[in-house]
Amino acid sequence: MRGAMLFGLVALMIVATGLMQSWNSALLILNMGLVSAIMSLGLNLQWGFAGLLNVGVMGFVALGGLAAVLVGTAPIPEAWAAGGWRIVAALIFAGGVIALAAVALRRLTRYRGLATLAILVAGFFVYRWIFDGGVAAVEAINPASAGNLGGLGLPILMAWPVGGLLAAGAAWIIGKTALGLRSDYMAIATLGIAEIIIAVLKNEDWLTRGVKNVFGIPRPVPYEINLQQSASFVERAQGLGLDPVTASTLWVKTLYAGLFTVVLVVLLVLAQLALKSPWGRMMRAIRDNETAAEAMGKNVTGRHLQIFILGSAICGIAGAMMTTLDSQLTPASYQPLRYTFLIWVMVIVGGSGNNFGAVLGGFLIWFLWVQVEPMGLWFLELVTSGMSDGPVKAHLLDSAAHMRLLTMGVVLLVVLRFAPRGLLPER
């Protein structure tokens, strides 16, 4: 009942945005709200179900974005011919070196540390020699518009599950090393890994064009310009009393909203089934008392790894969806405040451990994140209306954009203090 009311409230706020500002911005909020809800569903799996501190959501979201590039964009055959295979060979070689080092560490009895170190150091230099040559060749191909290997040229919708798989793979590697750590250490470790993933996306131009960004990732929905040229669409738009340009932008966003809703509903149903299943009960038992659960014969580390991978995969799917929505990958735009800590605010405000709570938090916090800026500007204008024009007034008005960070902090603290279980508490 309370849930329905709160969801109704959010829907009302979005509709109000449509009526007061424009339907375009309302749909923008709705679309990113759907994506945010999926991200917070993923984090809720980790934190709410299992109590895992994943402060690296940003990294998995970015990997999803990478998947959109690797799956959706067209391949660049010249680049592959110039050095693509050499890069692939270098990466395979690196994998081989690491495997060899691992074997040495396990099998050797004498000079174990030294031998492992020698393999790693020598392997690193050989790897760099193979790798750097390939990278230089690839990045020299048409650097103004390409300079990377491109993707597979497959339908972009396939990027969504692939994004999930990519994030799951990364989560497996990370989980293997970081999950054994104590909670604070794990938080710092995941924070660090997310930064490293972003650093890779920003600097490996052969993969993502780095800070030059990848533009024009294909879409699963028609382009506005094509709609405007289609006679039947223009006719229908005019039938509704809309001009074709507005109608086309709205229609494209509505299609996106439809696609995203399908994904969200599927994931929500799955998460809900998981929560209600014996598996979900076991997860919560492990969260509430690890020692007791272990004494009952539950494999705590194994289950933690499992749910860490699942939650990260969901974040990866959301990341791929977001990059598809933007049609571009801008590695420099990934910032932990926006893609990690904001998702945490969503989960905690919504109600950790409750899937509907996480979804609600996703919508609500995203709405606030977008709307606090105009509200802040309005508020500051009210405050400064009595002031004479001058540097102080100008500075205050300029600072309206930073109100959102302040607001998020206050919202998080207030919820933690007065409703620590969130708006929709776990049942």
Partner 1 sequence: MTDLLNALVALANFVIIPASAYGAQLALGALGVTLVYGILRFSNFAHGDTMAFGTTITILVTWALQAAGVSLGPLPTALLALPVGIAACAVMVLVTDRAVYRFYREVRAKPVILMIVSIGVMFIMNGLVRFIIGPDDQSFADGARFVISAREFKQWSGLDEGLALKSTQLLTLVTAALVVAVLFWFLNRTRTGKSMRAYSDNEDLALLSGVDPERVVRVTWLIVAALATVAGVLYGLDKSFKPFTYFQILLPIFASAIVGGLGSPVGAIAGGFVIAFSEVTVTYAWKKVLGYLLPESLEPSALVQLLSTDYKFAVSFVILLVVLLFRPTGLFRGKSV
Cα torsion through 35, 36, 38, 40, rounded to 10: 170
Q: Does 397 bind partner 1 (CB under 8 A)?
A: no
Cα separations (Å) of 231 from 227, 235, 244, 249?
8, 6, 10, 16
SS3 content of the chain, % helix, strand, coil (to 5): 80, 0, 20
Residues from 329 through 368 that contact partner 1 (CB under 8 A): 335-337, 341, 344-345, 348
β-sheet bridge partners, residue 329: 214
Question: Looking at 257, 405, 421, 425, which residue binds partner 1 (CB under 8 A)?
Answer: 405
Shortest distance, position 247 Cβ to partner 1, whole Å: 37
Distance of alpha carbon 179 from alpha carbon 169, whole angstroms: 15
Residues from 41 through 70 that contact partner 1 (CB under 8 A): 53
Shortest distance, position 341 Cβ to partner 1, whole Å: 6
Distance of alpha carbon 217 from alpha carbon 326, whole angstroms: 8
Given a contact cutoff of 8 angstroms between Cβ atoms, the answer to whether 145 and 135 are in contact is no
Distance of alpha carbon 47 from alpha carbon 291, whole angstroms: 18
Closer CB to partner 1, 56 or 72, in the complex: 56
Q: Does 379 bind partner 1 (CB under 8 A)?
A: no
Q: Does 118 bind partner 1 (CB under 8 A)?
A: no
Closer CB to partner 1, 18 or 192, in the complex: 192
Shortest distance, position 280 Cβ to partner 1, whole Å: 21
Taking contact as CB under 8 A, which single stretch among the options 19-27, 176-184, 232-240, 268-276 is the one that binds partner 1? 176-184
Q: Does 290 bind partner 1 (CB under 8 A)?
A: no
Number of residues that bind partner 1 (CB under 8 A): 45
Q: At what angle do helices 355-384 and 244-276 cross, to 10 degrees?
A: 130
Shortest distance, position 340 Cβ to partner 1, whole Å: 9
Consecutive H or E run containing 258: helix 244-276
Closer CB to partner 1, 120 or 274, in the complex: 120
Which residues have CB under 8 Å from 315's CB, separation 6+?
38, 39, 42, 43, 57, 60, 61, 64, 167, 343
Shortest distance, position 405 Cβ to partner 1, whole Å: 3
Q: Does 111 bind partner 1 (CB under 8 A)?
A: no
Question: Looking at 403, 421, 425, 426, which residue binds partner 1 (CB under 8 A)?
Answer: 403
Taking contact as CB under 8 A, which single stretch among the options 25-33, 70-78, 177-185, 225-233 is the one that binds partner 1? 177-185
Determine the 3-state secondary structure of 214 from DSSP.
strand
Shortest distance, position 180 Cβ to partner 1, whole Å: 8
Given a contact cutoff of 8 angstroms between Cβ atoms, the answer to whether 138 and 87 are in contact is yes
Question: Looking at 79, 138, 317, 412, which residue binds partner 1 (CB under 8 A)?
Answer: 412
Question: Looking at 92, 99, 196, 265, which residue binds partner 1 (CB under 8 A)?
Answer: 196
Distance of alpha carbon 308 from alpha carbon 47, whole angstroms: 9
Q: Can you give the binding site for partner 1, defined by CB under 8 A?
A: 53, 124, 132, 177-178, 181-185, 187-189, 191-193, 195-196, 199, 202-203, 335-337, 341, 344-345, 348, 395, 398-399, 402-410, 412-413, 416-417, 420
